[in-house]
Structure 1
Amino acid sequence: MSKKAKNITIPIGLGYGLIDLMGGGAFTIIGAFLLFFYTTFAGLSPLEAASIIAIARLVDAVVSLSIGSITDNFYKTKLGKKFGRRRFFLLIGSPLMAVYALLWVTGQGYWYYLVSYLLFEMIAAMVLIPFETLPSEMTKDFNKRTILSTCRMFVSATGTFLATFVPGQLIKHFGQNNSYAYFINGCVFAIVFAICIFISYKVTWERELSPDMEKELLVKTKAEHKTFVQHMQTIAQIAKDYTSTLKIRSFRKHLAIYIFSFTAKDIFNAVFIFFCVYDLKVTATVAANLLSLSVVGIPITICAGFLMIKIGPSNLFKISYSIMIVCLIGFYAVYKIDPSSKIAVLFVIAGIYQVGRSILEFTPWNVFPFIPDVDEMVFRQRREGLFAAVMTFTRKSSVALATFVVGLILQYGGFVKGRAVQPPEVMQTIANTMVIGAIGLLVIALLFTFTFHLNKQTHLILTKEIERLKNNGSKLDVEPRTKEVVEDLTGYKYEDVWQEVSMD
């Protein structure tokens, strides 16, 4: 673990962000193609296919909760001291990416697909949760964290593009009805993901241990060790810790914005291939090419990094959701009107949609590194792992529910697996699910953005107050504007923040 302060540069930011080639790429492929792969090549019904994704993500969501707590406390172990409490999990996660290729094997049974997908979800969580805490570990500066997060989302946008472009080309090469394209795609990306994770491990670092952490390492009594073990194993204690994160107002709003908007994106991704193939009567290759317009997310991510500082996350959210809602209506209009220039119109709409989507994916994880600072103002602790795990848990739970509901709708909407042409009522069900479902969730997320006030200016006021209090400043001397900002961001009266460590 590094004890030396280092500078945040663009190369460092890109090296850090390489993991999101997996985070952005793997789950883009899964979201866009796995349900289609299961129902078309693996011989599963829509409900069986959706249940695999739902069950695996729900189990993984529960496991993910413990990962955050483990990484927060891993500095107490020999491995944590040597490799870092966060980065150790990157090191072991790199070779385990081989599991990703196993998802795309045909001719297996339901349990094979369930177990292989569950394993990959858990390995990905083991890497992504510690990875998400690293900006808070590497620097306290808003602009430097924004560099890290912007580089991360630049890489993620690149991964999203590759995750849709490469499969499309392989499907075109091997043929639409050849499952080998999906397996080759899985093998290639498994190798790429492993290399990227290892590079990220090598170029990142963690903050020095705080005085309190140092004291814990010096005083290793049996009772203390037992308390740590109990903390790892007691469900009640874990639930108490994670529930305490929801006491922070900024986090509650951020979580709601994140979950509703990303679930809208999940519904779109899960249904889009079906929508293109069965409703619009275009090939899976065309559908993949439409999704590959996510390449626009690469320059958009750079612009969003500047806008994050200039106009703040709340306004970025509003821009993103508005664009996506208009484009979803556009897709529905193409389905209903069926214009002669359908392909050209689809590419225009899809390109604009990807602008909104890239901002949607960029913003929440650029906001996240500043949430633990708000939490520190209340509880006087650094709990990045805890917040990352809660976000991962709720995200995995919501996408599990969304995917299962999509499968349920397709199953009971009359979808027939393996059938090239679906009945009109099934086509309408697919369109309604993608458009109405996604728009409804985006509208809910949009409403939350109007009262979300965490930005560069308010964060600076907050961190200055934390530093003042750490230097034994009196709470009686707080400035009125600072008091207002602290109360708004935390949801607590100023008199109740900076309290002794207690989650009760």
Structure 2
Amino acid sequence: MKTRKIGLVNYLAYGSGDFLGAGTTALTAAWLLYFYTTFCRLSPIEATFIFATARVLDAVVSPLIGFLTDNFGSTWLGKRFGRRKFFILLGIPCVFSYSLMWIGDMSFWYYLLTYLLFDVIYTMILVPYETLVPEMTDDFKQKTKFSGARISLAQMSAILASFLPGILLTHFGKDNAISFFYASLVFSVLCALMLMLVWFCTWERPRNAWSEAALRAEEEKSQLSLSQNLHRLFIELNSTLRVRIFRQHLGMYLGGYIAQDIFNAVFTYYVVFVLMQDASMASSLLGTMAVFQFIAVIAMVPLCIRFGPAPSYRIAVVLFGLSSLSYAVLYYAGLSDVYSLLLLVSAVAGLGRGGINYVPWNTYTYIADVDEVITGRRREGIFAGIMTLTRKASQAGAVMLVGIIMQLSGFVSGQKNQPYEVGHTILLILSVGTIIVLVFGFMVSLFFKLNQKTHGVLREETLRMREAGRVEPEKVTPQARETVEMLAGMPYESLWGNNNIGYLNRNNHSKL
């Protein structure tokens, strides 16, 4: 695909959009459970039930939004504003709903409804946003730079999310919930401004650059009835998990991110109830992590280009795993009151977390390329929907599990002093729980073979298939065949729609 000239402003404008994804997620992951149990008097189970309920809703909303963005281009609004960017534009004024979640002393039902409202808005914006890079370019290095800009700016938002609550708690008092409301309001304003930059400085793949198969699919989809479209949605969702490299990608993604969710959910409790320090110290340590996450992302861009995503990911996993274990080691060795050691461990944790954050979102931008060589179509939206669903579902599941375990250990909401067993439970979750999930991601990464070299071969073969409108096994070299079959997970002759993956391919294949 011939792309427009891409400059620094495009990279930065696109990356700024993740102030919504990373910034609000960082603030929510580190503080919302603590906010609910400290300032809203919700029990850990009540608080985590809110997260779980949102995931039930999200099981429908995320794939549906992905499906809509893949098919919205044929509508008048889609042609006028873009099949992806229309939803981003619609969401800009809606991001202020985030601040409604952070008002203290309200009822359980208030917190449930405000969380669900923002969750839907978050999905409506993030799913199409995540499709933009493969829309704008096919080039491996450009995609890596876009991912680097995104995650770098995401880490900047995480730095703000880490330090800001501590600054406000110090100013307004550690027992004043208004600190969190003001922190969320800052993020609401920033997210609205950043999404405006995304709207003005990004673009979608022009229709004249679509393959014949994609254009034919668009025409066929317009002729489907409502029941056929619902059936198609179900098949398309399932078909993503039949793409082997996407399953591997999800394994790495979930291994790294669930580990961080578990860690984030208990870290503030670790500082307050194990170290017996103020929440502002948790903010300081989280801020240190965020600063080093930013440094790690910058380092990860050249590492992924030179060595590939999987080896870079494994380095990051080892760093984060060792640091997670170190927090417990410091406590049991009687050194947890040495602030300099806590800062050092937090810095190492940040380096690992930065790499874990970068690699999966970098590799995600290439998944649609592998899918295209399999199906002959561009389905960025449906993959983005599954990614967003699994991300939010994993976060909610991890936080809910942490809440249940803490309540079973004897945690009492609103109390400054907790039973002795609670501290040891927090340490167990923080160290062992985090490491178990990291090991899973590490093992999956051993099978992930997509890198700059293999992606280049894949793109050459995809261009050949686009021009011919079919596979040409007689023209492919043995080396190229081996590489493409390894990435696609099926014989070369079965590529470019000669299979039953996806709704249209499934129907056409059954007629052969």
Q: What TM-score, normalized to structure 1?
A: 0.95
Unaligned residue ranges in structure 2 (runs of 5+): 499-503, 508-512
Shift of 1:225: 4.5
Asked whether the 8 Å contact 1:97–1:194 carries over to 2, the reply is yes
| 1:18-77 Cα deviation digits (max 9, x unpaired) | 110111110000000000000000110010011111211331232101000000000011
Shift of 1:107: 2.0
For 1:254 and 1:228, the matched residues in 2 are separated by: 33
Unaligned residue ranges in structure 1 (runs of 5+): none
1:116 counterpart residue number: 114
Asked whether the 8 Å contact 2:295–2:354 carries over to 1, the reply is no
Superposition map of 1:128-139 within 5 A: 128-139=126-137
Q: 1:344 aligns to what SS in structure 2?
A: helix
1:333 counterpart residue number: 329
Q: 1:471 aligns to what SS in structure 2?
A: helix
Question: Structure 2 residue aligned with 1:152, among 150, 153, 158?
Answer: 150
After superposition, the CA RMSD in angstroms is 1.8
2:317 counterpart residue number: 321
Matched, 1:277 2:277: no
Matched, 1:309 2:312: no
Matched, 1:453 2:470: no
For 2:312 and 2:56, the matched residues in 1 are separated by: 30
Structure 1 248/4 Cα, relative in aligned 2: closer, same or farther at 3 Å? closer
Matching residue's letter, 2:224? T
2:18 counterpart residue number: 20
For 1:105 and 1:134, the matched residues in 2 are separated by: 34
Superposition map of 1:468-479 within 5 A: 468-472=464-468, 474-479=472-477
Structure 1 357/284 Cα, relative in aligned 2: closer, same or farther at 3 Å? same
Asked whether the 8 Å contact 1:10–1:147 carries over to 2, the reply is no
1:67 counterpart residue number: 65
| 1:479-500 Cα deviation digits (max 9, x unpaired) | 1111111121111122222234
For 1:157 and 1:340, the matched residues in 2 are separated by: 26
Matching residue's letter, 1:23? G
Question: Structure 2 residue aligned with 1:227, among 224, 229, 238?
Answer: 224
Matching residue's letter, 2:339? I
Matched, 1:238 2:233: yes
Matching residue's letter, 1:496? S
Shift of 1:373: 0.8
| 1:461-482 Cα deviation digits (max 9, x unpaired) | 0110111222327212221111
Asked whether the 8 Å contact 1:19–1:193 carries over to 2, the reply is yes
Asked whether the 8 Å contact 1:241–1:503 carries over to 2, the reply is no
Question: Structure 1 residue aligned with 2:262, among 252, 262, 267?
Answer: 267
2:510 counterpart residue number: none
Shift of 1:159: 0.6
| 1:302-325 Cα deviation digits (max 9, x unpaired) | 211111101110011101100011
Structure 1 461/158 Cα, relative in aligned 2: closer, same or farther at 3 Å? same
Structure 1 426/169 Cα, relative in aligned 2: closer, same or farther at 3 Å? same
For 1:340 and 1:111, the matched residues in 2 are separated by: 39
Question: Structure 1 residue aligned with 2:346, among 343, 350, 354?
Answer: 350
Shift of 1:5: 4.2
Structure 1 149/231 Cα, relative in aligned 2: closer, same or farther at 3 Å? farther
Asked whether the 8 Å contact 1:469–1:475 carries over to 2, the reply is no
Asked whether the 8 Å contact 2:52–2:400 carries over to 1, the reply is yes
Runs of 4+ in 1 over 4 A off after TM superposition: 211-217, 223-226
Question: Structure 2 residue aligned with 1:258, among 250, 253, 257?
Answer: 253
Shift of 1:340: 7.0
Asked whether the 8 Å contact 1:276–1:283 carries over to 2, the reply is yes
Shift of 1:338: 2.5
Compare 204-213 and 173-182 and name the one that shifted more: 204-213
Asked whether the 8 Å contact 2:327–2:336 carries over to 1, the reply is no
Q: How many residue pairs end up in the alignment?
A: 496
1:396 counterpart residue number: 392
For 1:340 and 1:5, the matched residues in 2 are separated by: 53
Matching residue's letter, 2:472? S
Matching residue's letter, 2:439? V
Matching residue's letter, 2:90? I
Matched, 1:362 2:390: no
Identity %, equivalent residues: 38
Matching residue's letter, 2:262? I
For 1:344 and 1:224, the matched residues in 2 are separated by: 60
1:426 counterpart residue number: 422
Shift of 1:216: 7.4
Superposition map of 1:182-221 within 5 A: 182-209=180-207, 210=210, 211=212
Matched, 1:292 2:290: no
2:506 counterpart residue number: 503
For 2:285 and 2:257, the matched residues in 1 are separated by: 19
For 1:134 and 1:246, the matched residues in 2 are separated by: 21
Asked whether the 8 Å contact 2:243–2:489 carries over to 1, the reply is yes
Q: What TM-score, normalized to structure 2?
A: 0.94
1:414 counterpart residue number: 410
Asked whether the 8 Å contact 2:251–2:441 carries over to 1, the reply is yes
2:379 counterpart residue number: 383
1:249 counterpart residue number: 244
Superposition map of 1:3-14 within 5 A: 5-14=3-12
Matched, 1:82 2:77: no
2:486 counterpart residue number: 488
For 2:474 and 2:215, the matched residues in 1 are separated by: 31
Shift of 1:298: 2.3
For 1:269 and 1:224, the matched residues in 2 are separated by: 43
For 1:340 and 1:469, the matched residues in 2 are separated by: 60
Matched, 1:161 2:153: no
| 1:405-430 Cα deviation digits (max 9, x unpaired) | 11110111110111111111111111
